[in-house]
Amino acid sequence: MSTPLKNNIVEIENLSFGYSNRLLHQDISMRFPAGKVVAIMGGSGSGKTTLLRLIGGQLKPQSGCVKVDGKVVHEQDGDGIYLMRRKMGMLFQFGALFTDLSVFDNVAFPMRENTNLPEVIIRDLVLLKLNAVGLRGARDLMPAELSGGMARRVALARAVALDPQIIMYDEPFAGLDPISMGIIANLIRRLNDALGATSIVVTHDVHEAFLFVDYVYFVSAGKVVAEGSPQELSQSAMPFVHQFVHGEADGPVPFHYAAPDYAQDMLGAGRV
Amino acid sequence: MERAKLDLWVGVFVALGFAALLGLAMKVGNLSASNIGDTYTVSAYFDNVGSLKPRAPVKSAGVVVGRVESIGFDDEKKEAIVTLHLDMRYHFDTETNASILTSGLLGEQYVGLEAGGEEKMLKNGDKIKLTQGAVVLEKLISQFLYSKASDGADNKQDKKADKE
Amino acid sequence: MFKTLAGVLQHIGHQVVDGVLRLGYATRFFLYALKMSGESFRRFPLVIREIYFTGVLSLIIILVSALFVGMVLGLQGYNTLQRYGSSEAVGVLVALALVRELGPVVTALLFAGRAGTAITAEIGLMKATEQLSAMEMMAVNPISRVVAPRFWAGVISMPFLAALFSMMGVFGGYLVAVQLIGVDNGAFWSQMQSSVDWSDDIMNGVIKSCVFGVACTIIALFEGYDAPPTAEGVSRATTRTVVISSLAVLGLDFVLTAFMLH
């Protein structure tokens, strides 16, 4: 379908994961090559966020594995996981800024916790990161005083505070106006290229994502249903991809949640 | 909130807390009173200690001069043995009389010391020989009733004698 | 009939099993928090910050309540004692009641309502807004960075608050008995001093308040950490904090008192 990708920094191999008896992912395999921006797309509730948590080692798969830099994530002990996470940055869905710390302290947080840098250097680094997202002037504000888009940008600055090799974005566009969305998309691309990092973007916003990502995985019902570059996928004839890209209400992804036959339900056994 | 202000407030809080603990100990509690400095130990046998408790005061002429350290039972003598810690500053002679008294009608019991006329002073480890145990209210009442009853009998006899 | 009985029994059984499970989780949480406490002492400013929020900000409610409790004790005590002609003993009554029981217990109850709920709501919201997850992803352990400092702050604050409560309460009793009613000042204090024992009464009160500090803080932290990450979940957890802390304090008080009086 596409050119084989080499030099993968994150690999998901035959991974299955679920809560209690409902399997969320079935035998999923993905590859994330170094230096690229890769999007994972799918409808709401298709377990995209869970995939990020599996990569970050916050959840353990039932079978299969996630490899980061060649090491299996769920086989690491506590210290190993923390060592691994220092190479990662993650932008949470609504920013997850620490509400009791100022913008400056939020960005400084990972540096203060994980390094022994003197405060002078931390100050310079924080201002550098804040400048990159255009919010150097907002350093003394509290998170409650920020708009949604600004909070997201601060969280982005915090996620890249330690110059991670892997940056994960969980729904970076959710709840943003078009201008903020454009800004964030632009930042994701620029930061990725400037840091030489690998970005994994989880989103359901096809149009915004297709503009700046290198590669796309489509996930549905716990499986990878399509993959390829945005160009390939926008011309794809696959019904699911077509439905998703063009935003049609009904198709392979049904409008109705699984239910007994409508006529039977209205007239049949359930009625007293 | 900046760091210095935070530290200041917490400092004030902790200082207040310590002050309150100290205040409780000194002003409300008996730490100042019980801390009477160096003490020497004497003991005394009592036929009955009543409801005397360890740490009860030892008073002489109404002034606290020591504390009851422990109360035990001597199996040979079948008497209670009370160990007292007395303040080094106060000296009592060997003829000192120790008795168990009650402050007020229903108050707590304490050991009262009354100096005798001897030259020799009590030393650490000595025993007080002259003691008087606690007054047991029931005994007192029954004694009183008994004497009343015998008085009544005497009176009757007297009256009889008068008539005759 | 039989069905409803079985239903009731099943319900009771479920509650008991659930309660035991939660107690087990809470114990593991407590032990883990203890294990992860190293950083709290290496970076003591973290704890100082939390002492400000749990201790200093509870001062007003503690002191005002204590003043009124002491004044009421003074009034009631005088009223009863004067019938027996021993109104000077009101100082003893006020001091013993406060130092042994009311100081530690009422402080712990107020602490659960003031600081405990704040801790639960804060941690619950941090969880709901993924701040704890974010911390984990930044290779920072939330137990050692968020939970342990709050735990130690609560444990440190509680005895001080209880001591302040007792002291303020005695002052309230003094105001009413001596200044208002006219009990003799000397008798008030001297009787108090001769009856309140440093180790038997005051230190036992301090020990109690330390135990209550551990219980109240860990309950508040656990409920917050365990709360479902929704608005309803956090509000329920906050309520549970108050209910469980209060019951735990009163229950523990009985056990501790029984031990202390042999």
Where in the sequence is the domain holding B79, given as residue range(s)?
38-133
Q: Which residues on B lie below 8 Å from C192 (Cβ)?
A: 28
Task: Indicate which CATH number applies to the domain containing B127.
Answer: 2.40.30
Residue of chain A nearest C140, judged by CA positions: A113
- Put simply, whether A56 touches C (Cβ < 8 Å) is yes
* Nearest CA distance, C36 vs chain B (angstrom): 23
Kindly indicate the confidence band of residue A2, based on its pLDDT and cuts at 50, 70 and 90: very low
pLDDT at C215 over 60: yes
Q: What is the pLDDT of residue C147?
A: 94
Q: What is the pLDDT of residue B161?
A: 61
Are the beta carbons of C133 and A93 separated by less than 8 Å? Answer: no
Residues of B in contact with C51 (CB under 8 A): 10, 13-14
Collect all residues with Cβ–Cβ distance below 8 Å to C94 and sequence separation of at least 6. Answer: C70, C73, C74, C77, C169, C170, C173, C174, C177, C192
User: What rounded mean pLDDT belongs to chain C?
Assistant: 92
- Integer CA distances (angstroms), B149 to B79, B142, B143, B161, in order: 31, 10, 10, 18
pLDDT of residue B162: 63
Cα end-to-end distance, chain C, whole Å: 48
Residues lower than pLDDT 50 in chain B: none
Answer yes or no: do B48 and B22 share one domain: no
Q: Is the pLDDT of residue A1 over 60?
A: no
Q: Which residue of B has its CA nearest to C93?
A: B28
Q: Do C163 and B21 touch (CB under 8 A)?
A: yes
Nearest C-alpha of chain A: how many angstroms from C19?
Answer: 21
pLDDT band for A4, please (50, 70, 90 cuts).
Answer: very low
State the residue for tokens 């892997």.
A166
Q: Are residues B45 and B62 in the same domain?
A: yes
User: How far does the CA of residue C137 sit from the closest CA of chain A (Å)?
Assistant: 6
Cβ of residue C128 closer than 8 Å to a chain A Cβ: no
The answer to whether B78 and B45 are in contact (CB under 8 A) is: no
pLDDT (0 to 100) of residue A26: 82
Show the beta-strand stretches assigned E in A139-234: 166-170, 198-203, 215-220, 223-228
Of residues C110 and A9, the one with the higher pLDDT is: C110
Any domain includes B163: no
Question: Which pLDDT score, from 0 to 100, does residue C170 have?
Answer: 94
What is the set of domains in chain A, with CATH numbers? 8-267 (3.40.50.300)
Predicted local confidence at residue A270, as pLDDT: 55
Q: Is A83 helix (H, G, I), strand (E, B) or coil?
A: helix
Greatest alpha-carbon span in chain A: 75
> CA–CA distance from C165 to each of C99, C116, C157, C175, C199 (Å)?
9, 18, 12, 15, 18
Least confident of B73-77, C16-20, C51-55: B73-77
Same domain, B12 and B55: no
> When comparing pLDDT for A75 and A122, which is higher?
A122
Average pLDDT over all residues of chain A: 83
Same domain, B73 and B42: yes
Evaluate whether residue B108 is within a structural domain: yes
B154 vs C203 pLDDT, higher one? C203
Pair B29, B53 in one domain: no
CB–CB contact A96 C141 (8 Å): no
> Which residues, other chains included, contact C81 with Cβ-Cβ below 8 Å and sequence gap of 6+?
C87, C89, C90, C93
ipTM score:
0.83
| Structural domain includes residue B98 | yes
Give residue-wise pLDDT tens across range A164-187.
889 999 888 887 888 888 888 888
Nearest-angstrom CA–CA distance, C214 and B130: 53
The span from the CA of A159 to the CA of A90, in Å, is: 5
Q: Which is more confident, C234 or A246?
A: C234
What torsion, rounded to 10 degrees, do the Cα atoms B134, B137, B139, B144 define?
Answer: 120
Identify whether residues B100 and B123 lie together within a single domain.
yes
The shortest C-alpha distance from C164 to chain B (Å) reads 5
Range of weakest confidence among A166-170, A236-240, A252-256:
A252-256
Q: In this structure, is residue B139 part of a structural domain?
A: no
3-state secondary structure of B83: strand
Residue B150 is assigned to a structural domain of this protein:
no
Say which of A58, A83, A98 has its CB closest to residue C133: A58
DSSP H or E stretch at residue B101: strand B97-102
Q: Give the tens place of pLDDT for each residue, B20-45.
A: 998 888 887 776 655 556 788 898 99
Nearest-CB residue to C198 (from B1, B7, B30): B30
- C138 touches A: beta carbon within 8 Å: yes
Q: What is the pLDDT of residue A269?
A: 58
Strand-strand pairing, A88-91 and A166-170? parallel
Q: Which residues of C touch B1 (CB under 8 A)?
A: 52
Specify if B145 maps to a domain. no
Q: Quick one: which H or E segment has residue A64? A: strand A63-68
pLDDT of res. A5: 46
pLDDT per position as a tens digit, C223-260: 999 999 899 999 999 999 999 999 999 999 999 999 98
> In this structure, is residue B141 part of a structural domain?
no
The share of chain A scoring above pLDDT 70, in percent, equals 92
**pLDDT 10s digits, C62-105:** 999 999 999 999 999 999 988 887 888 899 899 999 999 999 99
- Res C252: pLDDT: 95
Residues B92, B15, single domain; the answer is: no
Which chains, if any, share at least 3 CB pairs under 8 A with chain B?
C
**Count: domains in chain B:** 2
> What pLDDT does residue C249 have?
96
Q: Are residues B29 and B44 in the same domain?
A: no
Between C122 and C194, name the one with better pLDDT.
C122
Q: What is the pTM of this model?
A: 0.79
Of residues C62 and A86, more confidently modeled: C62
Q: What whole-number distance in Å separates Cα of residue A218 and Cα of residue A204?
A: 10
Q: What percent of chain C has pLDDT over 70?
A: 99
Distance (Å, rounded) from C-alpha C131 to C-alpha B21?
Answer: 39
Give the pLDDT band of residue A107 (cuts 50, 70, 90).
Answer: very high
Whether B27 and B43 share a structural domain: no
Which positions in chain B touch C102 (Cβ < 8 Å)? none
* Facing C198 at nearest CB: one of B7, B12, B25: B25
Nearest to C56 among B10, B57, B104 (CB): B10
Looking at the structure, tell me whether residues B121 and B49 fall in a common domain.
Answer: yes
Q: pLDDT for C155-187, tens place per residue? A: 999 999 999 999 999 999 999 999 999 888 888
State whether the Cα torsion A185-A190-A193-A194 is positive or negative.
negative
Whether residues B82 and B112 fall in one domain:
yes
Q: What is the pLDDT of residue C255?
A: 95
Q: Which of C52, C95, C167 lies closest to B10 in CB terms?
A: C52
C141 contacts A82? CB cut-off 8 A: yes
Q: Verify that B68 and B129 share a domain, yes or no.
A: yes
**Chain C residue with minimal CA distance to A54?**
C137
Does B138 reside within a domain? no
Whether the pLDDT of residue A244 is over 70: the answer is yes
